[in-house]
Amino acid sequence: MSVPMTNELLSCTVDPAADPAARAEIKALLEACDLSYEPSIEAFVTLSRGRSLIACAGLDKNIVKCAAIAPAEQGESLSLTLMTEIAHLAHARGHNHLFLYTRPDNVDRFRACGFHRLVEVPGIAAFMENTPIGMRGYCAQLRTLRQPGRDIGAIVMNANPFTFGHRHLVEYAVAHCDWLHLFVVAEDSSFIAYRDRLAMIKAGVSDLPRLTLHPGSEYMVSRATFSSYFFKEKNAAADCFTAVDLLLFRNYIAPALGITRRFVGTEPFCITTRKYNADMKDWLQRPDSPHPPVEVVEIPRRTQDEVPISASEVRRLLAAEQFGRIGRLVPPFTLALLRGKYRPGRTPSQIPDPPTRADAVSPRKGPEPYENS
């Protein structure tokens, strides 16, 4: 779609998957601006003068990426026009809260367009959002859940699905801190739907004391902060996403709750998660940060028949309907949910939720955290 604008500017919305010629032009502009094209982008807004493409910005759900202005055309006026057009496109697609990745030297330009810097990976990228109260409001909510104690722990868990290995990690963490904050990854890009993962975790830890179970947020292991976790990107961008995710945790989330330790299990199988654990020890503990360090505690995974328990193995067994073997790796509530809702050939979204077992705690509706005191 093309929209004529003032000063002979033409604004277009481009589907890069359906328009190879336009995609090639965008790639050329990005290359001229020393930026890389990202295949995850669903739509671009482009600005042209005459036959020349002079600016573009891409939209990946609610994340603005690949924002570029031709070197000869750069200026705040054109930046504002570009961001206004991408905001209109995002709004039309149901996204009002936007995140933006840009180079650090472009922060002032996008600040003038209404974006606010959250964190910066030195010399590589800045991560911004289009509201001054997004992260601030989230941290204000977290501070109401702060607990007394010297050693306050945290776990960020996907649980796709929840296994005895996850339970082992939570048990260890509870035993080695005064209070544990357990965050559930909210991004619905995993095999098991978020609402079911939350139910599994809640059932699996309901008997443990001194624990708050937090629904996930966009500020933690999400498509915005750490897309390489879900899409397994193998490039410098993946390192950038990892750093952004960990800086958000150290600079905002940990101080809001007084978190001093973050617990993880060793990762023998997934390269992405193993590297994330290594990066965690760097970004959360490096001494040159103005924010308090967060100690990373990595413990060996629980094993079954001398093999580390993994959610990926459970999914493999599920595809073969090996429920007897699955039952040795997961708690009863997880097994019942997998049997009833995720059996091969069934569509989980079309299947009613299974009845809540007597030994499980069903998830609350809404974003309220769940506390075991």
Chain centroid to CA 57 = 21
- Tokens 């200026």 appear where? 75
Nearest to 178 by CA among 205, 154, 210: 210
Q: How confident is the model at residue 226 (pLDDT cuts 50, 70, 90)?
A: low
**Mean pLDDT on 73-87:** 89
Torsion of CA 283, 287, 289, 291, to 10 degrees: 90
Least-confidence region, from 236-240, 277-281, 306-310: 236-240
pLDDT tops 70 at residue 69: yes
Q: How confident is the model at residue 108 (pLDDT cuts 50, 70, 90)?
A: very high
Residue 223 has what pLDDT?
Answer: 75
Q: What is the fold of 142-372?
A: Rossmann fold (3.40.50)
pLDDT tens column, 146-169: 999 999 999 999 999 999 999 999
pLDDT tops 60 at residue 352: no
- The CATH code of domain 2-132 reads 3.40.630.30
> Higher-confidence residue: 217 or 239?
217
The mean pLDDT of the chain is 88
- Residue 238 CB contacts under 8 Å (≥ 6 apart), including other chains: 228, 272
Q: Strands, DSSP E only, in the chain? A: 2-4, 9-14, 43-49, 52-60, 63-69, 99-102, 116-121, 125-129, 152-157, 179-184, 211-214, 261-265, 295-299, 303-304, 307-308, 370-372
Q: How confident is the model at residue 355 (pLDDT cuts 50, 70, 90)?
A: very low
What is the DSSP annotation of 266-277? --SS-HHHHHHH
Q: Round to whole Å and give the CA distance between 194 and 186.
A: 6
Q: What's the pTM value of the predicted model, to 2 decimals?
A: 0.86
Q: Are the CB atoms for 299 and 263 separated by under 8 Å?
A: yes
**In DSSP terms, which residues pair with 125 in a beta bridge?**
121
Residue 362 has what pLDDT?
Answer: 30
Residue 240 has what pLDDT?
Answer: 82
> Higher-confidence residue: 330 or 269?
330
Least-confidence region, from 133-137, 233-237, 281-285, 369-373: 233-237
pLDDT tens column, 271-296: 888 888 999 999 999 999 999 999 99
> Higher-confidence residue: 307 or 230?
307
- Tokens 């007897």 appear where? 324
Q: Are the CB atoms for 159 and 195 separated by under 8 Å?
A: no
pLDDT tens column, 25-34: 999 999 999 8
User: Which three-class secondary structure state does DSSP give residue 52?
Assistant: strand
Q: Round to whole Å and give the CA distance between 103 and 95.
A: 23
Residue 313 has what pLDDT?
Answer: 96
pLDDT tops 90 at residue 332: yes
Domain assignments of the chain as residue spans, ordered by start: 2-132, 142-372
> Higher-confidence residue: 184 or 350?
184
Residue 129 has what pLDDT?
Answer: 97
